[in-house]
Amino acid sequence: MLFRIRENLAANRLPIGEVFDGVCLVFAGLLLLTPGFITDAVGFALMIPPLRRLLAAHLARRFLDGAEIKTHSPAPTEDGTVIDGEYRDITPGAGPTAEPGPNPTARPTKRIDG
């Protein structure tokens, strides 16, 4: 298993399946050490690779069903370019104070009059 993890990392692939298998095998070992019929049955079931794949598919489906995927893309301008940046309101009387003071951590801003 460690060899397959190293192969995937060398090929710039995430070894998600191999890590899941490793975690299942460690958990199976712990269950087999715990006395009891049910813990032994679950431990032996986790040792079977097709059952681990079914469990991984089920967990992935449940995780993806509950996940929210949010994307943000700035609106392009008329000519199709995207302008992304930060701004600071320098209008007198705006914001929590009447007059904004200099912000030493702010990046320099470029004023564009158009």
Distance CA 25, CA 88 (A): 54
Q: Give the pLDDT confidence score for residue 113 in this predicted structure.
A: 57
Q: Give the pLDDT confidence score for residue 23 in this predicted structure.
A: 92
Examine residue 91 and state whether it is found in any structural domain, yes or no: no
Question: Residue 47 — left, alpha, or beta (φ > 0 → left; ψ -120 to 50 → alpha)?
Answer: alpha
Examine residue 43 and state whether it is found in any structural domain, yes or no: yes
Number of domains the chain contains: 1
Examine residue 88 and state whether it is found in any structural domain, yes or no: no
Each residue's pLDDT, cut to its tens digit, for the chain (114 residues) gives 888 888 888 888 888 888 899 999 999 999 999 999 999 999 999 999 999 999 999 988 888 777 776 666 666 666 767 667 777 777 776 655 545 555 555 555 555 654
Q: Give the pLDDT confidence score for residue 28 in this predicted structure.
A: 95
Residues spanned by the domain of 21: 2-66
Examine residue 24 and state whether it is found in any structural domain, yes or no: yes
